[in-house]
Homo-oligomer: A and B are copies of this chain.
């Protein structure tokens, strides 16, 4: 695949600061980056906007908003406020997309939590529209439902997205989270131009932490070429993020991880 459409999701090289990740993008000719909010906060949002521009880097997305369900109305309001700030940050750094990891049930039933996710997106949508930031619902792998996201399939994300019928609500197609679904290609086609991001890693069965044991591109069983073809067929023309969350990689040499990921990415058809 073409490096001209590549974006480095910052948590692939989580130990690095935003400055270090930006420098690595420039060094390797990676034209885009997807910062995470904790890294952005360390750097300063205004400074990041300036430095990203100066480095000539596009921003593919900001990770992440979401986590809407909470036990009380005031806590849910605080989550909404945090998402409003995330939208501001995305707009400031020129991120066209805010990735939403929707959050776990937090003591509610799954159905109640799913309603809270809907209501949370509804509450922040006017600000997203005014800021021209797309809210991109990322369905997470069903094994993360208790900690990360009650939205656990692309079909569910598509239903939720369609319920808003807004160009400012979209979905993320992250191969790790959705490849197992026998309907994955049909759901990508159904999403069409609502696909606001395409994230690459690979699947090997996690042996410990289910969140950060993702495999290097090419080391797992995901048919990445088929999924890349599906998102292209759906009309997605944006930057493609390498997003490999892996505690062992984080404990190792980041430059090695990045070089390997780049080789694997370029080797993909």
Contact = CB atoms under 8 A, between A and B. Distances in A.
Interface of A: 105, 109-110, 114, 141-147, 151-153, 155-156, 159, 179-183, 203-210, 220-221, 223, 226
Contacts of A183: 155-156
A38 B146 CA distance: 33
Contacts of A155: 182-183
A208 B205 contact: no
Contacts of A208: 207-208
Contacts of A109: 223, 226
Nearest to A222: B110
A182 B182 CA distance: 16
23 contacts: A105-B221, A109-B223, A110-B179, A110-B223, A142-B180, A143-B143, A143-B206, A144-B205, A145-B203, A146-B203, A146-B205, A146-B220, A146-B221, A151-B182, A152-B180, A152-B182, A153-B153, A153-B182, A155-B182, A155-B183, A159-B182, A207-B208, A208-B208
A143 B223 contact: no
A182 B183 CA distance: 14
B204 A146 contact: yes
Contacts of A105: 221
A114 to B, nearest CB: 7
A142 to B, nearest CB: 4
Q: What is the oligomeric copy number?
A: 2
A205 B143 contact: yes
Contacts of A204: 146
Given A105-B221, A109-B223, A143 B181 contact: no
Given A206-B210, A207-B208, 13 more contacts: A109-B223, A109-B226, A110-B179, A110-B223, A142-B143, A143-B206, A145-B180, A145-B221, A146-B203, A146-B221, A152-B182, A153-B153, A210-B210
B141 A153 contact: no
A205 B226 CA distance: 30
Contacts of A151: 182
Contacts of A145: 180, 203, 221
Nearest to A178: B142
Q: What are the 4 tightest A-B residue pairs by CB atom distance, in nearest-first order?
A: A142-B180, A143-B143, A156-B182, A145-B180
Given A143-B141, A146-B203, A205-B146, A181 B210 contact: no
Which of A153, A180, A207 counts the most chain B CB atoms within 10 A? A180
